[in-house]
Structure 1
Amino acid sequence: MKKKYDIEKDLAYLELLSQSFPTVAAASTEIINLQAILNLPKGTEHFLADIHGEYEAFQHVLRNASGNIKRKVNDLFGNELREAEKQDLCTLIYYPEQKLELIKACEKNMNDWYHITLHKLIRVLRDVSSKYTRSKVRKSLPKDFSYIIQELLHERTDDANKSGYVSAIIDTIINIGRADEFVIAIAGVIHKLAIDQLHILGDIYDRGPGAHLIMDLMEEYNSWDIQWGNHDIVWMGACAGNDACICSVIRLCLRYANLTTLEEGYGINLVPLATFAMETYGNDPCEEFIPKYSAESSNMDEKTQRLTALMHKAIAIMLFKKEAQLYEKYPEWDMQDRMLLNHIDYKKGTIMLEGKKYKLSSNNFPTIDPKNPNQFTPDEEILMEKLHRSFTKCEKLQRHMRTILAHGCMYTISNNNLLFHASVPLNEDGTLKEVEVFGKKYKGKELLHQTGMLIRTAFQKGADPAERNYAIDYFMYLWCGKDSPLFDKSKMSTFERYFIEDKKTFHEEKGYYYKLRDNEAVCDYILDAFGIKGKNRHIINGHVPVHVVKGETPIKANGKLMVIDGGFSQAYHKETGIAGYTLIHHSRGFQLIQHQPFTSTEEAIKNGTDIISTTQIVEMASHRMLVADTDKGKELKKQVEYLQELLYAYRRGIIKEVAQ
């Protein structure tokens, strides 16, 4: 117990605390409650990265908790059920509404089915809820069925005195026609409790068609955080009004034939761009700008593909101009070498790069004035104004970006794990590299913190105008800057991939973080710099796809670092050989889940097809981790200390109890 001097020092806080716990009895009850919680098993954390708009696969991974629900069903029912029955039960939990429709179409005795199935679902729910307090479980329950589910969770049919009571509850639910709603409610609670905390390590956006659907889902999700990725940042920049980011976002959508997110998701009007592109590039083959392979591009007819290529080239040229304007405006970014339109000989159709001349694959640049190559034409100015207005005035996009801001940051420390999307810039010797941000230099933890603060400034209308304008411009540096912790490469070779056939020019030299991250000493140094102590500490990030087909492994530095971007995006599947990694951290340790490509939600519901996953045990704890061993446990222990001080203050009359 602290001395009186310390009690007096904390008196203002204790008086505030006494409003919530006005008596010795109330404070004592809360201490007992918190001490009990500290001895529960640690909740399950779920780590995902680089979702890239793949809504169906992402939704399925959430619904099956990376296979965790299937494992629980197998453990619970073992040989009691056939494999097909267990598969049907899992599918019912994942997609209750849709699965119920299929069952009703073929099941002859639905009442009997309801009886059997509800008992199974209650067993699964009882298992997934066993880690939590009754209070937490109660808060997860839907209001309509809260009392009934609580009764069923805490009563067993093998209790002779209560078996009739439990059967009567289930009989009544069926008889009054509420069985479907009850099944759906229980499945929803299982989803919530199977994952205690979801960590998304960046890149919800780009490539796939469903980023807006993912954000709709996350707006309603119970407990999650995000470490911003470079693809999230470019969308945030577009939303904040950075014209180069707007052009980048549109370019990427056209490159992957992913107009669903822009047009259907956010209502961005691309008709002005299509009109401009047809008028300006109508006679240009635009072969370099035909969309890359994706599910969407493979279904395109020739006319749509042609129009997409025209729009793609139009926005790409506008992007190169806008980028160059920013590089000229901020020489401290050291990116003037990327003002590539300045290096073209427009008569000969060649470009000079790093002292070497290259032939351009095409030389049709009707909107470029060779004397002022980075200047917009009047038509481009008008088009840019329209696109700018579409992005900055889109209420849904603004709302989604506010959600990302509210749940996100550049990095997070969770239970001795350092989470960030891409890199921490390093020098060649493995020391932290200083990077200039708004006139000051920062490194490591402070660099990520200050970058995060600057990002928030871009959305604060009352902020200092000079700082806010810089913040809005800085999104472009974060997207493709040499020392950006979200990029950290020598260049983004977009222009070269479009216009130069020599693939050597495509090479993007990775920063030293990527070269040194397999070194355990370097990882320890980074963890030390972020103030993370203890033996079982890790760096977890995504960003760079793991090429399993080439023998790459996601576990590096003797287990100190885990890379969980295996390629959710369909565009990566051929390159990586898999369809993503997810990481589970539960009370017994870490499990890395490697996923094979997801077919479709329809296939999963109809045939019970699940994502085929391979589980790899990364690290097992020497003892089962309890809440007391977590960050949450540290908070609860601190609360217990203050409550004990409050008891001391009550018992010595320093603070008076309030009669109830």
Structure 2
Amino acid sequence: MKLMKDKDLKYLELLGQKFPTIASTATEIINLKAILNLPKGTEHFISDIHGEFEAFSHVLKNGSGAIKEKIEEIFSRSLRDDEKRQLATVIYYPKEKIEEIEKREINIEEWYRITIDRLLKILRVVSSKYTSSKVRKSLPEDFAYIIQELLYERDGVPNKLEYVDEIIETIISIGRGKYFVEALGNVIQRLVVDRLHIVGDIYDRGPAPNLVLDKLKKHKHVDIQWGNHDILWMGAGAGEIGCIANVVRICTRYSNREILEDVYGINLLPLATFAMDVYKDDECLNFIPKDNSKYRERDIKLISKMHKAISIIQFKIEGKIIGENPHFNMENRALLDKINYDTFEIELDGKLYKLNDKNFPTIDRNNPYKLSEEENEIIVKLQNSFLRSEKLQNHISFLFAKGSMYLKYNGNLLYHGCVPLDKNGNMEEIEILNKKVKGKEYFDICDAICRKGYFGKCEDVKIYRDYFWYFWCGKYSPLFGKNSMKTFERYFVDDKSTHKEIKNHYYDFYENEKIYENILEDFALSKRTSRIINGHVPVKSKDGENPIKAKGKVLVIDGGYSRAYQDKTGIGGYTLVYNSQTLRIVAHEPFTSRENAIKNCLDIHSTTVTIDRSIDRIRVGDTDVGRGIKEQIIDLQNLLCAYRKGLIKERIK
């Protein structure tokens, strides 16, 4: 050990507060070295959930089919198929399934004995790749000691078998069997998924993004790569009015007012009152909400008027944002001044198109981007509601705490959308905050801008907050990845050729792995062994499209969790699973319902394709976590040396 500097000794003194003796330091070194030789934990990658909580929750519960595999592995010859399905359902939905079984099972105590024994066998297998300490931390407080005894004490010794059997008998006889089975099921679920990666777009379209976030908050190891729909809500949470208008519009379009009103407490009454007054004689046929079966006709009419009202407000606000930020280079998306309000035609790319709507009562043709007094009052009230929503701010804070524009993890590069490329496949150089950047440097600046936009208190914070809107729909946004968002055209122009949104050149080079190898190298990753994992663009599986691109360098895992996309994809979502031996992509059929899964023991049918298989198991020591542990071991070895040389005193009680 070299002569230590004062700062090194100060650091070791601090470390010594946690490990105060030679014995405790040595024990920790032994523990950490042992952990390095365990198999790496299983990583799950999920993208584009879009508020579909039930489907997302079920895939998380079944570990993308991993629990079914364990059941088949352990009970392939000893259980019938219906018994395996029931056992799987008990693990996924223990409380609900037990309640159903109790109503029809004659000998419920015997059912508990058999089920507990089976669950313990599964738990032993799924916990085998973790330290006993990690398993212990996953156990529910009420049953932690008992489960540990049952897991590690059944070793064939007669006295131990009697001891274990007596524990189980007592649990059942005192009426705790139901709760014990529930605890075992939940522990198995937790241990099957070690690390969860959400590759963007938790929000919009589906009915319950809030429940997705609540579930993610309970997961111990989760990270999020922001999607453009997430950044939209993050901008709304920061008070950016362009994002707020878009959020409200999308919620009205997809019949999700309840998310705003009931979940986040956003007051939509001023908008409803205004819409009913200004658009009372307008049927707003282009603004009828999707999936409106849950509403009465009167409600549909009201939502349609609200939908149109907030859309016009949005287009006005966006025009003003574009005018105030010429560096966005989005002048072609300010469209209200391109309308001839006498002929109701609009000029797009040098060509005139008829508008399908002639009722614009709040637009001043001499100043089309000016909000009327009432519109301004509405947006101010909405802004206050978003800023004061405790639940929303809690969720946005979580997205910042666990999220980022991109992530490098265990040799893979994760981001939601794309690295903007030019027509030759080179990384596009983009001017942002008076600096020209590309690739990783661009992503880093985008990430910093978002954090300044939300947490910043300085006078120029508006500059950063406007970027939330740009990252939602801007030409060179790494989260959007298209030349423009044609919202106005889809509402007001029948000619569908005007609706086309051209994707960034990033998506043109899927057959050229060298393009993506360059991206990996720019992010300081191996072009030989690393992969890019992203979502955003639904993979049309029903048309034969493959989610594996660029000879395996790019994996696109947006398969259609959102019901709005399932007609295009033909499936109900993808999951990427990376365990100690394989990297595989799992395609899921659409999820029917939670009730159907519980009652009929119906799991999601999934198809698995193995992308890569390791001859030897990948160990913790080979991972990013392992590299961190190795650094800890070096520090502890230095501490141990300092103790033995008398440079630091032991704290012996």
Q: What TM-score results when the alignment is normalised by the length of structure 1?
A: 0.97
C-alpha deviations, 1:491-514, integer Å up to 9, x for none? 100011111111111111111212
C-alpha deviations, 1:119-162, integer Å up to 9, x for none? 11111111111110001011111111111000000022743231
**1:561 lines up with 2:554 in the alignment:** yes
**1:581 lines up with 2:574 in the alignment:** yes
2:458 paired residue number: 464
CA contact (8 A) 1:243 1:388 kept: yes
**1:366 lines up with 2:364 in the alignment:** no
SS of residue matched to 2:23 = helix
Counterpart amino acid of residue 230 in structure 2: D
2:256 paired residue number: 258
SS of residue matched to 1:532 = coil
1:350 paired residue number: 345
2:444 paired residue number: 449
**1:313 lines up with 2:314 in the alignment:** no
Change (3 A) 1:17 1:162: same
1:288 paired residue number: 286
Counterpart amino acid of residue 100 in structure 2: L
CA deviation after TM superposition for structure 1 residue 287, in Å: 1.4
Quote the RMSD (CA, aligned, Å).
Answer: 1.4
CA contact (8 A) 1:438 1:470 kept: no
SS of residue matched to 1:655 = coil
1:523 alignment partner, one of 510, 516, 539: 516
> Take 1:514 and 1:342, find their aligned partners in 2: how far apart are those partners?
33
2:384 paired residue number: 389
1:485 paired residue number: 478
SS of residue matched to 1:209 = coil
1:497 paired residue number: 490
| Structure 1 segment 6-17 matched on structure 2, within 5 A | 10-17=8-15
> Take 2:210 and 2:310, find their aligned partners in 1: how far apart are those partners?
22
> Take 1:129 and 1:260, find their aligned partners in 2: how far apart are those partners?
40
**1:337 lines up with 2:337 in the alignment:** no
CA contact (8 A) 1:286 1:310 kept: yes
> Take 1:301 and 1:658, find their aligned partners in 2: how far apart are those partners?
72
| Structure 1 segment 400-479 matched on structure 2, within 5 A | 400-461=395-456, 463-466=457-460, 468-479=461-472
CA contact (8 A) 2:517 2:527 kept: no
> Take 2:68 and 2:223, find their aligned partners in 1: how far apart are those partners?
25
CA contact (8 A) 1:7 1:649 kept: no
CA deviation after TM superposition for structure 1 residue 517, in Å: 4.1
Counterpart amino acid of residue 522 in structure 2: A
CA deviation after TM superposition for structure 1 residue 469, in Å: 1.6
Counterpart amino acid of residue 396 in structure 1: K
1:220 paired residue number: 218
> Take 2:293 and 2:496, find their aligned partners in 1: how far apart are those partners?
25
C-alpha deviations, 1:340-396, integer Å up to 9, x for none? 001000110100011000111111111101110111111111111221121111111
SS of residue matched to 1:56 = helix
SS of residue matched to 1:584 = strand
CA contact (8 A) 1:564 1:581 kept: yes
Change (3 A) 1:534 1:126: farther
CA deviation after TM superposition for structure 1 residue 187, in Å: 1.2
**1:535 lines up with 2:533 in the alignment:** no
**1:164 lines up with 2:162 in the alignment:** yes
1:72 paired residue number: 70
CA deviation after TM superposition for structure 1 residue 178, in Å: 1.3
**1:650 lines up with 2:631 in the alignment:** no
> Take 1:88 and 1:112, find their aligned partners in 2: how far apart are those partners?
15
Q: More displaced, 153-162 or 492-501?
A: 153-162
1:634 paired residue number: 627
CA deviation after TM superposition for structure 1 residue 589, in Å: 1.7
CA deviation after TM superposition for structure 1 residue 519, in Å: 1.8
SS of residue matched to 1:590 = strand
2:180 paired residue number: 182
Q: More displaced, 505-514 or 597-606?
A: 505-514
SS of residue matched to 1:458 = helix
CA deviation after TM superposition for structure 1 residue 9, in Å: 6.4
Provide structure 1 residue ranges, at least 5 long, that are not aligned to the other structure: none
CA contact (8 A) 1:210 1:260 kept: no
> Take 1:396 and 1:594, find their aligned partners in 2: how far apart are those partners?
33
2:29 alignment partner, one of 28, 31, 38: 31
CA deviation after TM superposition for structure 1 residue 78, in Å: 0.7
1:232 paired residue number: 230
C-alpha deviations, 1:35-75, integer Å up to 9, x for none? 11000000000000000000111111111111111111111
2:49 alignment partner, one of 41, 48, 51: 51
SS of residue matched to 2:304 = helix
2:275 paired residue number: 277
CA contact (8 A) 1:207 1:256 kept: yes
SS of residue matched to 2:566 = helix
2:544 alignment partner, one of 551, 554, 558: 551
Q: More displaced, 248-257 or 264-273?
A: 264-273
Q: More displaced, 567-576 or 13-22?
A: 13-22
SS of residue matched to 1:162 = helix
Q: More displaced, 514-523 or 74-83?
A: 514-523
2:142 paired residue number: 144
CA contact (8 A) 2:518 2:527 kept: no
> Take 1:596 and 1:534, find their aligned partners in 2: how far apart are those partners?
33
CA contact (8 A) 2:520 2:527 kept: no
> Take 2:376 and 2:30, find their aligned partners in 1: how far apart are those partners?
66
> Take 2:97 and 2:5, find their aligned partners in 1: how far apart are those partners?
59
> Take 1:534 and 1:139, find their aligned partners in 2: how far apart are those partners?
37
> Take 2:373 and 2:615, find their aligned partners in 1: how far apart are those partners?
68
SS of residue matched to 1:246 = helix
1:117 paired residue number: 115
SS of residue matched to 2:455 = coil
CA deviation after TM superposition for structure 1 residue 219, in Å: 2.2
> Take 1:11 and 1:433, find their aligned partners in 2: how far apart are those partners?
47
CA deviation after TM superposition for structure 1 residue 406, in Å: 0.8
C-alpha deviations, 1:278-302, integer Å up to 9, x for none? 111121121111123x3xx233332
CA deviation after TM superposition for structure 1 residue 12, in Å: 2.6
CA deviation after TM superposition for structure 1 residue 534, in Å: 6.6
> Take 2:34 and 2:251, find their aligned partners in 1: how far apart are those partners?
51
1:609 paired residue number: 602
1:511 paired residue number: 504
Counterpart amino acid of residue 163 in structure 1: L
C-alpha deviations, 1:207-258, integer Å up to 9, x for none? 0110111122222222111001100111111111111111100111111112
SS of residue matched to 2:652 = coil
> Take 1:21 and 1:353, find their aligned partners in 2: how far apart are those partners?
69
2:587 paired residue number: 594
Q: More displaced, 17-26 or 162-171?
A: 17-26
> Take 1:236 and 1:652, find their aligned partners in 2: how far apart are those partners?
53
CA deviation after TM superposition for structure 1 residue 188, in Å: 1.3
Counterpart amino acid of residue 170 in structure 1: I
CA contact (8 A) 1:157 1:166 kept: no
> Take 2:72 and 2:312, find their aligned partners in 1: how far apart are those partners?
55
